[in-house]
Structure 1
Amino acid sequence: MTWDEKIKDFEIFLRFERNFSENTLDAYVRDIKKLKEYAEEDLDSTGPDVISYDHLQEYIFTLSKQKFSERSQARWISSIKAFFRFLMEDEIREDNPSSLLEGPKLGLYLPDTLSLSDINKIIDAIDISSDLGQRNHCIIEVLYGCGLRVSELIDVKISNINFKENYIKVIGKGNKIRFVPLAHYTADLLQAYIKDVRSKIKINKKHEDTLFLNSRGTSMSRVIVFLIIKELTDKAGVSKKISPHTFRHSFATHLMQNGADLRFIQEMLGHSSITTTQVYTHLKTEELRDVILTFHPRNKTKIVE
């Protein structure tokens, strides 16, 4: 039995039994391949069936000295734990050497968000007189107006858009399906893009149903969407570090600020657990704290000794 053999089996397990998304699956497999390289180079080719807790602890310690973020370290440990649980289920090992591994204590992660003013600045920076600009306008509006992940955005199919009822059928992580409402404004933009812009493109037969296309008539890549956003952000003079996910965070934050129920936001984002969505309650708490510190009279009152 070799590392390569069990890593391949692990990949199949994650894909077909755990229904991992491609991005998560790639990250987990990549993490275990790094462990394999360490075992082969520093542990005299120790196999996955005999590697010990001490070996794993030393490996994590070695990585932690390379100034990786705490979140990266936490994911390595998550990947390693999942791999050795799989080996136990597959009866390759009787013990789990990763069971006592502890990840770094993570602080509360509050995602970056954009104000409505920032979003409008970015949209105003788009040259909508061009076909490319109209497509990019739609991309920004769907990211923000529907709260989609970038992987979901580039996979949207025209056949999954219901313009009569105004919703998009979205296939998210783990192939979970959710139905996201479309604002009339966003729906009108999409229909105009499909009719006036997309119809001019020579479309690759494999992508006839794909909503957003590149100049070659095929689906867009995640990297291209990142580059579009970076270019527009720079042009708009918005100094925050922005990614496609920032629009998703902004979508959820603005819903929360305007009184939307947390369960509703969970459904819209496609979170399997309400715990993931609860980060937005902390964002609102931070906002309320700032308001109190700025405006509450007691905060301006000094105690006289």
Structure 2
Amino acid sequence: MQVGKHEALKLFIEYMQIEKNYSQATIEQYHHDITSFFMFMAEQAIPSLAEVQYGDVRIFLTRMYDKKLARRTAASKISCLRSFYRFLVREKLVDENPFALVSLPKAEKRLPEFFYEQELELLFDACETETPLGKRNKALLELLYGTGIRVSECCKIRLSDLDFFLSTVLVHGKGHKERYVPFGSFAHDELQTYIQSARNELLGDKEDHGYLFVNFRGGPLTARGVRGILNKMFENSSLQGKIHPHKLRHTFATHLLNNGADMRTVQELLGHAFLSSTQIYTHVTNEHLRRTYMSTHPRA
């Protein structure tokens, strides 16, 4: 069966949504990567997906190298296109997968960035709590650090997902997987303060949509909004460098392991499907131990 490349992409997107149950963010990234490859095909005058050869793929890899893409980014694009063609072969839309023999570039082993406990205290101290927005921001920071949840998960939290008696939150994770995550007394107190004395004021006369965090217009807070809030907090503190929401997630995991938590527990709390995803934090904690040793031992 012959179909155009855009029709093939549409079928692949439906397959990811219905059969694979991928998140919207993953689907958008796949769509972007495949569309970029379509542009490459047009430049190379390749008329159809079935006519892409291994040599064309090598040229595509060279283009990525010339653009100085990070190895992790290049590997992600190749993996995406390999999956796309695997689907096309399965559906008998093409005969061969030209990406099947391409080896993925090894990604750089970069350790996750995290805050030391003293640094985090400076960030918390920079929060003002006199205004409704200030109360919301403090609750947001406490929840992100206190649970290690992803920003996308944080923005999906509804009031009904919170259990203040057990101090747990129902988190809607990747691939529609759900997990219960506990939060501590600091997050507990700041969340209650925000809900009782700030949230309704931020909602104003808008109908309550049920989401926990509200923006200044009364709508649900978005991931982009969270990044803006954290950047503003960071600017108001005396900290140097950069902040991103995932840094709080890295900090959560690193502090747990540094204080004796076992790997399996941290894996469950983070919502990692594979233990290998969590094991990167052992490198962080090992490096932390090494630095402590080198700076404190008389014979180091």
Q: TM-score range by the shorter chain?
A: over 0.9
Task: State whether structure 2 residue 212 is matched by structure 1 residue 211.
Answer: yes
Report the CA distance between 1:218 and its aligned residue.
1.2
Could you tell me which residue of structure 1 aligns to residue 255 of structure 2?
A: 254
Counterpart code for 1:53: Y
Could you tell me which residue of structure 2 aligns to residue 34 of structure 1?
A: 36
The RMSD of aligned alpha carbons is 1.5
**Which residue, 4, 18, 23 being the options, matches 2:6?**
4
Whole-angstrom CA distance in 1 between matches of 2:70 and 2:295: 33
Could you tell me which residue of structure 2 aligns to residue 85 of structure 1?
A: 86
Counterpart code for 2:21: N
Q: Is the 8 A contact 1:147 1:269 kept in 2?
A: yes
Counterpart code for 1:221: T
Q: Is the 8 A contact 1:147 1:251 kept in 2?
A: yes
Q: Is the 8 A contact 1:203 1:216 kept in 2?
A: no
Whole-angstrom CA distance in 1 between matches of 2:199 and 2:20: 36
Whole-angstrom CA distance in 1 between matches of 2:31 and 2:206: 31
**Which shows bigger deviation, 220-229 or 241-250?**
220-229
State the TM-score, normalizing by the size of structure 2. Answer: 0.95
Structure 2: segments with no counterpart, 5+ residues: none
Question: What does 1:20-59 correspond to in 2, within 5 Å?
Answer: 20-40=22-42, 42-59=43-60
Cα deviation digits, residues 43-68 of structure 1 (max 9, x gap): 21431122112111211211221122
Q: Is the 8 A contact 2:169 2:182 kept in 1?
A: yes
Residue identity over aligned pairs, in percent, reads 33
**Which shows bigger deviation, 65-74 or 129-138?**
65-74
Question: What does 1:17-166 correspond to in 2, within 5 Å?
Answer: 17-40=19-42, 42-166=43-167
Report the CA distance between 1:164 and its aligned residue.
1.5
Could you tell me which residue of structure 2 aligns to residue 239 of structure 1?
A: 240
1:96–1:203 Cα change, 3 Å: farther
Report the CA distance between 1:297 and its aligned residue.
4.6
Cα deviation digits, residues 227-279 of structure 1 (max 9, x gap): 11111112102112210110000000000000001000000000000000000
Q: Is the 8 A contact 1:71 1:106 kept in 2?
A: yes
Counterpart code for 1:269: L
Structure 1: segments with no counterpart, 5+ residues: 300-305
Q: Is the 8 A contact 2:139 2:194 kept in 1?
A: yes
Q: Is the 8 A contact 1:109 1:279 kept in 2?
A: no
Whole-angstrom CA distance in 2 between matches of 1:89 and 1:126: 54
1:98–1:273 Cα change, 3 Å: same
